[in-house]
Structure 1
Amino acid sequence: MSRDGVGIDLETSIGYALKEASSALRTAMEEVLRPLDMTVTRYSCLELLAQRPGSSNSELARGAFVTRQSMNVLLQTLEREGLVTRPTEAPVGKALPTRLTARGRRSLEQATAAVRSVEVRMLSGMTAAERDSAFRSLQSIVQALRGDENRA
């Protein structure tokens, strides 16, 4: 409870600390990606495609935490810029599988190095054991909030 008895105490709220950390991380990532003409969402999309070639618009939107409409606009832009390719017609159903081009891979390599530098800075004050513990704790939080039945 906060000092005045209303709401939560922001100084001890894990949820508030998570939101603050998320905001700080996004700001730091945007700062290093901006000179590369990249946003966090754009980077996320390219990274997802590198790890999951052929992903659909819906899969990419879920992975990048944006709406399908926003992802569709982004994919159209990336396609115009020659960073991704999509077939003109869906091979099966409605989904247009998207793939990185060579240019998209080069762009992603630069962005990944920039994002990696942010993560190194973010974790610089932690020991390996603290990083492992933090990672496990964050995974546990996500599982609990999603109601995953297979929690450790």
Structure 2
Amino acid sequence: MSQDGIELETSLGFLLKEASSALRFAMEAELRPLGMTVTHYSCLELLAQRPGLSNSELARGAFVTRQSMNVLLQALERDGQVARPAAARVGKVLPTQLTPLGRKRREQASQAVRAVEVRMLAGVTPEDQAGAARILRSMIRSLVGDGADGNDGAEAGDSGLGQ
């Protein structure tokens, strides 16, 4: 029991963090044999669903810094999983595309991550899943969607990758 703090057993914030950590741990365990991390997979999945994203857009979608994403993109480019133009057409933005190898690797990783999600939701009815998604979106909007910080909240809930 907490004297003046948060009751951990009943704190939704703490439970969300615990669930997020458990999900990440399970995803990492499934992705490790594929030579991937959750961030690596997130980058490939984002590019599969939204080709041409910039480094900054990918970083926001994967919940990492631009610098971390740039390091990852350089490695993925060296490994032949993504391609970026040598020079930006406009400004400094280098749109990133998956290569055939990147698409194949994303497919393998997506199957592994989907298996984790299926396991996570095994005891949850479709109705409860829909309700949970609705409640989580509402929580996200309450925290970031008010526009007070100049953020419309889009990136907070757009990736759907469970980070």
CA distance in 1, matches of 2:132, 2:55: 31
Partner of 2:135: 137
Give how far 1:4 is off: 4.2
Is the counterpart of residue 50 in structure 1 residue 48 in structure 2?
A: yes
CA distance in 1, matches of 2:146, 2:37: 31
User: Taking structure 1 as reference, are residues 133 and 68 closer, same or farther at Cα in structure 2, changes over 3 Å only?
Assistant: same
For residues 129-149 of structure 1, give each alpha carbon's deviation from its aligned partner in whole angstroms, at most 9, with x where no partner exists.
110100100000001001337
Structure 2 unaligned blocks of 5 or more: 153-163
Residues 113-152 of structure 1 mapped to structure 2, 5 A cutoff: 113-148=111-146
What is the RMSD computed on CA atoms of the aligned residues? 1.2
CA distance in 2, matches of 1:148, 1:102: 40
Equivalent residue for 2:71, pick from 73, 84, 93: 73
Partner of 1:32: 30
The DSSP-based 3-state class of the residue aligned with 1:75 is: helix
CA distance in 1, matches of 2:43, 2:56: 11
**Structure number, greater radius of gyration:** 1
Output the TM-score relative to the length of structure 1.
0.95
Which AA in structure 1 matches 2:55? N
The DSSP-based 3-state class of the residue aligned with 2:134 is: helix
Which AA in structure 1 matches 2:6? I
Give structure 1 regions of 4+ aligned residues with deviation exceeding 6 angstroms.
none
The share of aligned pairs that are identical, in percent, is 67
For residues 45-88 of structure 1, give each alpha carbon's deviation from its aligned partner in whole angstroms, at most 9, with x where no partner exists.
00000011110000000000000000000000000000000001
Equivalent residue for 2:87, pick from 74, 86, 89: 89
CA distance in 1, matches of 2:76, 2:83: 8
User: Taking structure 1 as reference, are residues 135 and 89 closer, same or farther at Cα in structure 2, changes over 3 Å only?
Assistant: same
CA distance in 2, matches of 1:90, 1:10: 49
Aligned length: 148
Which AA in structure 1 matches 2:30? V
Structure 1 unaligned blocks of 5 or more: none
CA distance in 2, matches of 1:71, 1:51: 17
User: Taking structure 1 as reference, are residues 4 and 134 closer, same or farther at Cα in structure 2, changes over 3 Å only?
Assistant: closer
The DSSP-based 3-state class of the residue aligned with 1:53 is: coil
Output the TM-score relative to the length of structure 2.
0.88
User: Taking structure 1 as reference, are residues 127 and 87 closer, same or farther at Cα in structure 2, changes over 3 Å only?
Assistant: same
Give how far 1:5 is off: 1.5
